[in-house]
Amino acid sequence: MNEEDKVKESLEFCEDIYTYYEKKGEDEHLYSQYNKATQWKEEPVSYTEKYSEMKKIEQEEDASEEAEKQNFYYKEILPIILCVVVAFAVAKLLSAFVIQITVVHGDSMEATVSDKDKLFVGKLSYLNKKPERFDVIVFTKGDKTNLIKRVIGLPGEKVEIKKGVIYIDGKRLKEHYGLDPINPESEPLKMELKADEYFVLGDNRSVSLDSRYSSIGAIREDEIIGKALVRVYPLNKMCVISK
């Protein structure tokens, strides 16, 4: 090999070395940049940080579930509770001041109403007027259960019963409610009613405990609960109770 070839070969070798190191430098630079760009992925995460993150997610889920429960309560449960409370309050108010249900006990008002019938009683029926003759009223007397009878004598009248006939102020009463003749043992009877008293009889007069007997006597106005309006039970006998 001559001198010229040796020089040429030396130059090519130097060029190869230069190219190698230049490329190596570029590769190291690119790797450094990549390392910086992906450094967040390679950073180790501590157990405390992971636990905190999981706890935060659980708290968010719990809060979401609690919000759903509250939403269901306010939208679904609360309206039902309010409806029940309002209905109960209205029923109580109606029962106390307007209307109530009374159950018939015994056969004293056959055949107008019967034992175990249920009646609507109007408490406001006598708010602006007085009970009238032949009204069916519900009243209390001492510690007895509510009683149901028909008004026969009005305040201030003289009631007399003799030989099965009722007289009001000396005149025979025209009426058709008594199923049986009046018991002879309850005659003769004379009663003068006070300004706030009423004389009542059951329609089934052979078994009725009413104003003929001292345990009941005349009914004061403040003892009257109201007027029997409608028989609501049994359903097949539902009807308005009229004179």
Which residue of the set 123, 149, 208, 227 is catalytic? 149
CB 194 within 8 A of CB 218: yes
Tokens, residue 95: 């029962």
116 is catalytic: no
149 is catalytic: yes
Q: Is 105 exposed, middle or buried (0-12, 13-18, 19+ CB in 10 A)?
A: middle
Residue 87 is classified by DSSP as: H
DSSP notation for 204-227: STTT--STTSTTT-SEEGGGEEEE
Rounded distance, CA 122 to CA 95, Å? 9
**Half-sphere exposure at residue 212, Cβ-oriented, CA atoms within 13 angstroms:** 24
Residue 96 is classified by DSSP as: I
Rounded distance, CA 125 to CA 168, Å? 25
Rounded distance, CA 26 to CA 33, Å? 11
Neighbours of 138 (CB within 10 A): 20
Encoded amino acid at 225, one letter: I
Chain centroid offset of residue 118 CA: 22
Which residue of the set 6, 56, 64, 108 is catalytic? 108
Ramachandran class of 189: left when φ > 0, alpha when ψ lies in -120 to 50, beta otherwise: beta
Active site residues: 108, 149
